Structures are given as C-alpha cells and as structure tokens.
Amino acid sequence: MERRDVIVIGAGLAGLSAAAHLATEGHRPLVLEHHAVPGGFAHEFTRRGFRFEVALHALDGAGPGGWLYGMLKPLGVLDRITLQRLEPLYRLRLPDFEVTAHADVNEYRQELVDLFPGEAEGITGFLDAVKRVGRDVGGFARDRATGWKPTPIEMMERFPDMSTAFTQSWADFLSAHVSDDQLKAALSALWGYFGLPPSRMSAGLFAAALASYHLNGGYYPVGGSMALSRALEDVIVEHGGSVLYRNTVTDLEVEAGRVRAVSTHRGERYEADVFISTASPLDTIGFAGSDHFDPEYVEKMTADAPALSNLVVYLGVEGDLAAEGWDHHEYFVDDGYDLEAGYQTVVDGDFGRAGMVITNYTESDPGCAPDGHSVLVLMTLAPWDHADVWGTGGDLTDYSNNPAYVAVKEAAGAALIRRADALIPGLTERIVVQEIATPLTNVRYGRQPYGSIYGREQTVENMFAHRRSPRTPVANLFLAGAWIAGGGMSTAMGSGRTAAALAGRALAG
C-alpha cells in the first residue's frame, strides 16, 4: 500500500476527529481500527429491530456558540447530522424530592430556588461561578488554538476562575457557595459522568461541563452517536483519507527516535511520516517497546489509576413509554445524599443501591425502536474487580461463555432491572430484548484497560496542567483520547483536534 503522511491508530471519536481535521487541511490520513465499525464508545448495535446506543447520553457544547459546535461546524459535520436539543437535560430522583434540570440556566436556577429558598443567594452565586469557569475555559481554548503558551502567572491573570477551579475538588467548590447537603447532592447529579466522588473530582472539569450544558445546550444526535461517527468518517474519506476496520495494530516500528511504520494482526505494514495513537499509553508503549522511551516516562504513563468502568443493561420494551408518561430522556436515581458513600457502593459492586441512570432513547430518537416499542438503557458505574473480575479470575479467554461470568453478569443486570421496575411498574413483563454489558465488554470491543470509560481518574491532581501531554519522546508520535485529555465524547474530539494540530506542524517541518 502507498505511503501515507499520517497514520491514526483507532477510529474512536478522538481518532476520527484527528483524521477529519487533517484530511480537511489537505493531508491523507489512514485510520486503523480494531473493531468492525467506527466510533469507539460512539457506536450502536441492533437486536430484532431495536437500535441500541452504546454509551452517549448527551453532547455538551453542541449548540451555536458552544466549543463543540465551533469544532464540528468547519468540518461540515453539522451539515450531515441532526441534533435534538434536550429539554430538560435530565431529571434527578433523590429520596425526598425530584429535580428537573432545565437546559435554560435561569429556569434551572428557579427550580433549585423553589426547592431550597433559604439557599437562593448561594444558588445564584454557584451558577454564576459555573458560568465564569465555562467562559474562561472557552477563552483559554481559543487562545491556545492561536499558539499561546502562558506562564502560570499569565494563566491566573487572564483566566482566574478557571485556574482556581482546577485546583479545587468539586466538594470544595460546592461548599464555597451552598451548605445544604441535599442541595449539594442535587447539584452533583452528573457525578457519574466523571466517575469520582465530590471529594476527589476536579471542580474545574465538572463546572466546565455544567456551563457547557446549560449555556450552549445538551444535544442528542438523531440516529445516535453512530450518526456522528459516520459523519466524521465521511469527511475523512471524501477528503482523500481512509479508514480500515478489523485492523488491530500490534507493533510500532521505531528507528532513531522516530516511528517508521505500524504493523497489524493481519501482517500488513504501513509507513507514514507522522503517527497519532488513540490507544491507551499502556498499549501504545507496548506497540513500540518500552526500550524506546525513558524509564521515567514509561513509569509515569503506565502508573495512572484507571477510572471506573460501567454496567449497562440494554432493553427493548413493549409500549411507547414516552406516551405513557415516562417522557424523560435522562433520569438519574440516587438513593441517598452522601455521594461519598454512594461512590463506595459502586466500588463495592452493590448494584442494588448504586446510583444509576435510566435513559429512554425513544424520547429523543424515536426511530431507534419499532412502532409501539421503546429503547430503555440502565447504567451504573462499576468496578473492574467485582466478584473476582466478574467471575473470570482475570482470565478473559472466551469469557462470554464462562458460566461463572454469565451468572455474575446476569445477577448484576437483574439488580438494575428490579430497581427500574419499581419506577416503571410492569417493566419486567414487557421486555422483548435484553443485553448486558460489563467492564469486560469494554476491553473486548474498545480495548480499554480495566474497562475504563474515562481513561485515567479525573481527579484534581490529574486534570488541567497535570493532564498527560499529547507529545511523546518519539518525535513523530502523538497521543489523543481519554487517557490524555480526560473522559467524554466532546473531550475526545477536542483531543483529536489537538493531536491533529501537532501532527500538522510536524508535517510542515
């Protein structure tokens, strides 16, 4: 095969974004993907006429003025997909009350004030602080795109709210504005999107996401996240790039401090001038061989604690749940107000009590189910080591046919279904299709170490200035994806754009 100027390892959203940016700038990237379809976590599967979204709940910042909008619009992606604005963003069920998180920040504020009138001033201050962090993050991204490389002092002077928030935990950020524990729980409904309790979670990350959702909207693509992945793929191909599936990269050939070629499990060898890997650092270093990197770099990049994984139950259900009154796209359920304890229930694998989210995809994308039916997905965070690695003892060989694995998986899934049935009476009897995914599923299809859905833990210590650099000691090898930039689909696409910019400069010499 002819030599390409850029090879991208992985067709998740980070890889697709990187390749799309490079292709529209006149390069001819080749993307090599392990799976049979694009998207990574942004894809779908079908069963008996039901189309199941694998992972996406809502895209942030996809409306006009949002940072994702500003990234996708120039690529032509937004002309190829239809985005459904979510209103409300979600509902949250707590033991004593429910909260409707309206997309409009002023309506959301009023909902909170009505529930907690004694905290009205604090709620306003909290939301104002969130907006300031969000605006700082947007300004920082725009300035960085021009090549600005600030000192810490310059950063603090220009973007004080962002700089401060990224040194704080979410718990500290909350306590600076409000005192009621029930209100704090209500404001932290999205903690499962980040996989950590408030005491360890980056305040800057959480606040920036909230601002993006409430200032620029939360959206879901008609046709699911696969529509977004296919749109990026189309941009790549139409501009002269290529995407090859079922091509698992096994080796990076390094000579004199530069990657010369990649090899795949098929025995194919592909040469290029520049390489971008969206695989985990552990895998990327393994492809090249650790002897091509400083020991200190290898230790740093492979020692990161992985973020939590997830347990997902995909249900095809008889009946139009939205027409019956279950008209929420996203419905969070927390059985308590102590989110530190809630996190521990996840770590303990107590799926009968762990915080969960119920997503009715038919509400925002009716075409995902046959007429008169609904797609309902139940999700909770989950640990890799639950029940001795889900009954396998760590041996993943043909794990899906291991009776012990099947028993553990079915028991965990049943716990979520029982809880959903208590909220939607008769649900169990109406199930037509059922599939259960575990952390091992994420390893099998996404090649994510420990099944992590967010890469490394998104702690205060790991975010912002402490994120891993997309540059590597190998001159023409760059990194992108959750293990570098943090979790989330919007973040993945932004990470791909950053890697593409570095690759473009490397190609320009």
User: Which of 479, 478, 486, 477 shows the shortest CA–CA distance to 452?
Assistant: 486
Query: Could you tell me the sign of the dihedral formed by the alpha carbons of 226, 232, 233, 234, in that order?
Result: positive
Q: Which amino acid is at 93?
A: R
Q: pLDDT exceeding 90 applies to what percent of the chain?
A: 86
Boundary residue ending a domain (451, 478, 498): 451
Phi, psi of 170 (to 5 degrees): -65, -35
Report d(CA 212, CA 131) in Å as an integer: 8
Domain-located, residue 94: no
Asked if residue 35 is part of any domain, the answer here is yes
What burial class does residue 124 get, using C-beta atoms within 10 Å of its C-beta: 0-12 exposed, 13-18 middle, 19+ buried?
A: middle
Tokens of 238: 């139409």
Residues 294 and 345 in one domain: no
Do residues 351 and 421 share a domain?
Answer: yes
Do 291 and 237 share a domain, yes or no? yes
What is residue 397's three-state secondary structure? coil
Q: Token pair for residue 275?
A: 């390489």
Same structural domain, 395 and 348: yes
- Judged against a pLDDT cut of 70, whether residue 386 lies above it is answered with yes
Average model confidence (pLDDT) for the chain?
94
2 has a pLDDT exceeding 80: no
The answer to whether position 200 is within a domain reads yes
Gap between the Cα atoms of 1 and 332, Å rounded: 50
Q: How far apart are the first and last CA of the chain?
A: 24
d(CA 495, CA 485): 6
* pLDDT of 163 higher than 80: yes
The answer to whether the CB of 108 falls within 8 A of the CB of 214 is yes
> Does residue 165 sit in the same domain as residue 255?
no
Q: Are strands 330-333 and 44-47 parallel, antiparallel or unpaired?
A: unpaired
Residue 225 pLDDT: 97
Classify residue 153: in a domain, yes or no: yes
Average pLDDT over residues 55-71: 91
For 166, residues 6+ apart whose C-beta sits below 8 A from its C-beta are 202, 203, 204, 205, 460, 463, 464, 465
Domain count for the chain: 3
| pLDDT of res. 142 | 76
Nearest to 454, CA basis, from 219, 213, 196? 196
**Strand 309-318 relative to strand 373-382, pairing:** antiparallel
Q: Considering 186, 216, 246, which residue would you say is the last residue of a domain? A: 216
Looking at the structure, do residues 278 and 254 belong to the same domain, yes or no? Answer: yes
- Note whether residue 344 is domain-resident: yes
User: CA-CA distance, 68 to 432, in Å (whole number)?
Assistant: 36
Query: Average pLDDT for residues 46-64, to the nearest whole number?
Result: 94
- The CATH number assigned to the domain holding 504 equals 3.50.50.60
Contact at 8 Å (CB) between 293 and 327?
no
Which DSSP letter does residue 337 get? S
Same-domain pairing of 405 and 274: no
Q: Residue 112: is its pLDDT beyond 70?
A: yes
Amino acid letter, residue 402: N
Across the beta sheet with 218-221, the strand order is 59-60, 218-221, 83-85
Whole-angstrom distance, CA of residue 145 vs CA of residue 177: 33
Cα–Cα distance, 390 to 409 (Å, whole number):
7
| Residues 438 and 315 reside in one and the same domain | yes
What is the C-alpha to C-alpha distance for residues 154 and 151, in angstroms, rounded to an integer?
A: 5
Its pTM stands at 0.95
Alpha-carbon span 198 to 185, nearest angstrom: 10
Q: What is the pLDDT of residues 79-96, one digit of tens each?
A: 999 999 999 999 999 999
**Do 230 and 297 fall within a single domain?**
yes
Same-domain check for residues 447 and 327: yes
- Tell me: the pLDDT tens digits for 453-479? 999 998 888 876 677 899 999 999 999
C-alpha 32: how far from its chain's center?
21
Whether the pLDDT of residue 441 is over 80: the answer is yes
Amino acid identity for residue 401 in this structure: N
pLDDT at 214 over 90: no
Could you count the other beta carbons within 10 Å of the beta carbon of residue 102? 18
Residue 91 lies in a domain: no
In a domain, 429, yes or no: yes
Which tens digit of pLDDT belongs to each residue from 14-38?
A: 999 999 999 999 999 999 999 999 9
Q: What is the pLDDT of residues 323-351, one digit of tens each?
A: 999 998 999 999 999 999 999 999 999 99
- Give the single-character DSSP code of 469: P
Of 428, 451, 474, which closes a domain?
A: 451
Residues 264 and 287 in one domain: yes
Question: What domain range is 74 assigned to?
Answer: 4-82+222-304+456-508
Phi, psi (rounded to 5 degrees) for 286: -65, -35
Task: Tokens for 197, please give them.
Answer: 């309790």
As to burial, measured by CB atoms within 10 angstroms (0-12 exposed, 13-18 middle, 19+ buried), residue 2 is: exposed
Q: Average of pLDDT values for 368-384?
A: 98
Tokens of 312: 């997902």
pLDDT band at 1 (very low <50, low <70, confident <90, very high): low
Whether residue 325 is found in the same domain as residue 444? yes
Domain assignment present for 67: yes
Q: pLDDT tens, 186-196? A: 999 999 999 99
